[in-house]
Amino acid sequence: MSYKYETQHNAVSFTQGRNGKAIDKIVIHWWGDPATNPSYAGVINWFKNPSAGTSAHFVATGTNRSVAQLVDLRNTAWHAGDWNANLTSIGVELDPRCRPEDYDVAAELIADIRSAYGDLPLYWHSDFVATRCPGNWDVVKLDKLSYTKYSHLTDWGKGGNKVPTPPVVVPPKPPVVTPPKPPVVVPPKEPTPVPTPTPVPPVIKPEPPKENPKEDIIVAFTAKDQAVLQAQAQGVINSGNFAPVISDHIKTVAYFVTDSLAVLATLVLTVLGILGVMDAILALTLNGAIVAALIGFKQIFRISSKK
Ligand SMILES: [Zn+2]
């Protein structure tokens, strides 16, 4: 984690040097009864006060993770109440609230001290004089915790946890079991029905277009009024209206269909017409012409409406 390392504060009550003694221990203190609500800044200021008559090398707190060095480690601080202990130790004043963050910062500080001065053992202040100090601090616990911290030899306050925080183990997700797909059941193909052949409609030979009866007409007349009847018949044929002629002059009308039949009918009706049976006939069919012939027209003319 590291901590904020402050060196701008200097205690005034200390002894230069260590009188040739080697540093061989760390003495743990609390900086006062928590009931009196002492503060980090207040302790520092007290050590800076010439009337204090006491000092420590370090003051540490978990609040804002701060450590102040007030006495150079080469000099002797006045903290143990035992002169020989002062000459051979590093005095550390800790936050009396003993919070987890106080332990953590203190442990890192001790790791830093040990990194620079060797594996120094921890001592209770009460090991040297009759005192409540270091109060509620569990020095054994602090000692063990300090070994979980690493340090840099000269970079105070740049340490951290030697034992990495175990990563949060995320349990692996159980594999998603994909249920096997049911086999695709291919339904048996129904037999392809043989397509019923589309009945080919019988080719209906188009009947030859019926000739317009107007276009090929046999007109049979009796001998008398031949010219008038013929003219009237021509006019009726051209106008498409047979009724007047039929009512006035023509008694029977027959129809021929084809030229060849018309020719035949013409020959027959010519003969019959000569016999003078009927006044006139408009024969447009073979049957009609035959009927006309049987009736006995005297004269038969072929009149084409195409003219
Ligand atoms: Zn003490």
Examine the domain organization and report whether 231 and 150 are in the same domain.
Answer: no
Whether residues 153 and 259 share a domain: the answer is no
Question: Coil, strand or helix: which one is 15?
Answer: strand
Q: Which two tokens stand for residue 101?
A: 């963050």
Q: Is residue 294 part of a domain?
A: yes
Alpha carbon of 10 to ligand 1 centroid (Å): 18
Q: Is 19 left (phi over 0), alpha (psi -120 to 50) or beta?
A: left
Cα 89 to ligand 1 centroid, rounded to whole Å: 13
In a domain, residue 202? The reply is no
Which pLDDT value is given to residue 111?
94
Taking each helix axis from N to C end, the angle separating 286-295 and 259-274, rounded to the nearest 10 degrees, works out to 10
**3 Cα: distance to centroid of ligand 1 (angstroms):** 22
pLDDT digits (tens, 9 = 90+) for 258-279: 455 555 655 555 565 556 554 5
Q: Render 161-188 in DSSP notation, one character per residue.
A: ESSPPPPP--PPPPP--PPPPPP---PP
Q: Is the separation of the CB atoms in 141 and 102 below 8 Å?
A: no
Instruction: State the Cα–Cα distance between residues 156 and 293, nearest whole angstrom.
Output: 149
- Report pLDDT digits (tens) over 147-157: 999 887 767 88
CB 218 within 8 A of CB 290: no
Picking from 123, 139, 161, the residue at the C-terminal end of a domain is 161
234 and 127 in one domain?
no
pTM here?
Answer: 0.55
Note down the domain range covering 221: 213-303
Ligand 1 centroid, distance to 33 Cα (angstroms): 11
Tell me if 284 sits within 8 A of 217, measured CB to CB. yes
Name the domain boundary from 161, 178, 198: 161
State the CB neighbour count (10 A cutoff) for residue 53: 9
Digitized pLDDT (tens) for each residue of the chain, 307 residues in all? 799 999 999 999 999 999 999 999 999 999 988 888 899 999 999 999 999 999 999 999 999 999 999 999 999 999 999 999 999 999 999 999 999 999 999 999 999 999 999 999 999 999 999 999 999 999 999 999 999 998 877 678 887 887 666 667 777 777 777 777 767 766 666 666 666 666 666 666 656 555 444 444 556 555 445 565 566 556 655 555 444 344 344 444 444 444 555 556 555 555 655 565 545 556 555 555 555 566 665 555 555 443 3
Q: Are residues 11 and 114 in the same domain?
A: yes
